[in-house]
């Protein structure tokens, strides 16, 4: 339980970085990896330890008319239809409900109201109140009900109106959702999807702007993915519903209105694969969710400065796609991790430990990790911005890393 409390907002905003036990990390079963028993030193630099004085003058570092970055193409087909991210989630959910009558949805206001972000809009009218079930404001109860439904053969999707509210269901997610397959000796599978909005919004306050990825990452038996585009939102939603494992799908509250053209034909993505966003040669930048767009904004400036960054959206937060990550590290020999999760015990700390233990000999420089500050997210817009990594900091970090 120590790792769970480690991610709680600290009293002081500048705490030392920490490493997690790499034995807790799940490795992708589809790839074979050579893992060394020896443990190397873990290099995690604080974002504030870098020379980031220019971060307050972002216009000095960012070039608004930068050239297009190499390989910056959409993952979607040229033909298809345009959807916002929340619409892509709904389309994937609706297709799975149409395909499999065992798929059902439950949560607060998911029925005729259509969900707080309209991901389930129109589904109650189409499939009825039993398959799209409005629940009381009782996260612990309806999450447990969803787990019980999964044990009896259904494939429930539990929506948390806000990921912060799912802390009220942490006992169900940890002691039941993650463990019942094991403690029942394989008699039960728990094919449940737990999803909802999270991340730092815009002046939503501390309780509604939490980054909870690291909280759930330390629970054995659970897979975690984070969507960042309409294309991968739909593909990951369909994959999560079809999985026999419990899956937590993280959606960012500020990405719901992101628009993209996605294919008309059906597709399902892997829950264990990262996405190569931009091939490059000089440095590997690992990121996910909203920070993908901060990284790509910084990448345009970096290209104009003569750098060639490789950007990978890790997508799978548990297990990590160490095959894709390792191939990139062996090519660039430098790693920058950019996340919105907390500094202490965050995704970046786990990822740093995994890279150090598996690919230490390929690194020509210490791993640099840019994370959010270890403080509750302030309500004031200016202070809120200061707690989250900005593109100017990414540019500065790459420049120092490549010196």
What are the helix (H) ranges across 67-225?
85-99, 123-127, 139-151, 170-171, 180-183, 213-217
Would you call 294 a catalytic residue per the annotation?
no
Would you call 252 a catalytic residue per the annotation?
no
Per annotation, catalytic residue among 96, 139, 310, 357: 139
| Cα–Cα distance measured from residue 25 to residue 39, given in angstroms and rounded to the nearest whole number | 15
Q: Cα torsion at 352, 320, 191, 87 (round to 10°)?
A: 100
Burial 352-368 (b: 16+ CB within 10 A, else e): bbbbbbbbbebbeebbb
User: Residue 247: what are its φ and ψ, rounded to 5°?
Assistant: -125, 135
Per annotation, catalytic residue among 91, 96, 108, 208: 208
| Cα–Cα distance measured from residue 172 to residue 163, given in angstroms and rounded to the nearest whole number | 14
User: Residue 379: what are its φ and ψ, rounded to 5°?
Assistant: -80, -40
Tokens found for residue 272 = 């264990």
| Cα–Cα distance measured from residue 104 to residue 332, given in angstroms and rounded to the nearest whole number | 45
Cβ atoms of 155 and 102 within 8 Å: the answer is: yes
* Secondary-structure breakdown of the chain: helix, strand, coil percentages, each rounded to the nearest 5: 35, 15, 45
Cis peptide bond N-terminal to 319, omega within 30? yes
Residue 258 C-beta-side C-alpha neighbours within 13 Å:
21
User: Residue 176: what are its φ and ψ, rounded to 5°?
Assistant: -110, -60
Which residues have a catalytic role annotated? 139, 208
């Amino acid at each position: 339980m120590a790792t769970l409390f480690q991610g709680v907002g600290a009293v002081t905003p500048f705490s030392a970085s920490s490493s997690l036990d790499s034995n807790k990390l799940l490795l992708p079963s589809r790839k074979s990896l050579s893992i060394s028993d020896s443990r190397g030193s873990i290099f995690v630099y604080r974002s504030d330890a870098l020379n980031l004085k220019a971060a307050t003058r972002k216009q000095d570092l960012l070039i608004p008319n930068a050239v297009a970055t190499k390989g910056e193409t959409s993952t979607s087909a040229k033909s298809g239809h345009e959807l916002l991210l929340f619409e892509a989630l709904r389309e994937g959910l609706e297709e799975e409900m149409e395909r499999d009558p065992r798929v059902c949805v439950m949560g607060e206001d998911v029925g005729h109201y259509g969900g707080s972000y309209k991901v389930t809009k129109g589904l109650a009218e189409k499939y009825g109140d039993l398959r799209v079930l409005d629940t009381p404001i009782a996260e612990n109860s309806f999450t447990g009900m969803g787990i019980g439904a999964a044990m009896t053969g259904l494939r429930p999707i539990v929506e948390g109106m806000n990921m912060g509210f799912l802390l009220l269901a942490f006992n169900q997610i940890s002691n039941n959702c993650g463990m019942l397959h094991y403690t029942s000796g394989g008699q039960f599978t728990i094919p449940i999807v737990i999803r909802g909005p999270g991340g730092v919004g815009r002046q939503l306050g501390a309780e509604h702007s939490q980054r909870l990825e690291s909280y759930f990452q330390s629970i054995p038996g659970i897979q975690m993915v984070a969507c960042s585009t309409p294309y991968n939102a739909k593909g990951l939603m369909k994959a999560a519903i079809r999985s026999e494992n419990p899956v937590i799908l993280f959606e960012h509250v500020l990405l719901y209105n992101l628009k993209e053209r996605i294919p008309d034909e059906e597709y399902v993505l892997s829950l264990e694969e990262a996405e190569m966003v931009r091939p490059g040669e000089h440095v590997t930048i690992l990121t996910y969710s909203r920070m993908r767009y901060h990284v790509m904004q910084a990448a345009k400036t970096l290209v104009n400065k003569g750098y060639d960054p490789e950007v990978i959206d890790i997508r799978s937060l548990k297990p990590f796609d160490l095959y894709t990550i390792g191939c990139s590290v062996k090519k660039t020999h430098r790693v920058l991790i950019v996340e919105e999760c907390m500094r202490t015990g965050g995704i970046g700390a786990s990822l740093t430990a995994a890279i150090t233990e598996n690919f230490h000999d390929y690194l020509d420089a210490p791993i640099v990790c840019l994370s959010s500050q270890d403080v509750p997210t302030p309500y004031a817009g200016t202070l809120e911005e200061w707690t989250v990594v900005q593109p100017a900091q990414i540019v500065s970090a790459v420049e120092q890393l490549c010196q």
